[in-house]
Amino acid sequence: MESLTSLFPKHKCGLYLEHNAHLDVYEPLEQYLNLYTIDDWINADEFKLAFDNNSYWKLQWYPDSPVGFYVLLAYNLDKLLEHAVKER
């Protein structure tokens, strides 16, 4: 099996994988993710699928320091990780 670390972008600080955290706090997906824009999604199709199915994945990582970070959102975990690996 391929090492799990090869599935994630390089990062010198934290990396966080989140799935459907809006359900833990009883918030609608639209409200929970209101800080993000369409540009944070890997593509418009994933954005639509997530909202149509009330489900999402989020990957957030700090590549160089705890000050700046990247975030990616998707409906499908495999597609999210494929896109994130390109950020390595």
Whole-number Å distance between alpha carbons of 8 and 74 = 15
Tell me the helices (H) and strands (E) count for the chain, helix number first: 3, 3
Whole-number Å distance between alpha carbons of 25 and 43 = 26
Tens-digit pLDDT string for the chain (88 aa):
467 777 888 888 999 999 999 999 999 999 999 999 999 999 999 999 999 999 999 999 998 888 889 999 999 999 999 999 886 5
The verdict on pTM exceeding 0.85 is yes
Strand order in the sheet with 15-19: 15-19, 57-61, 70-74
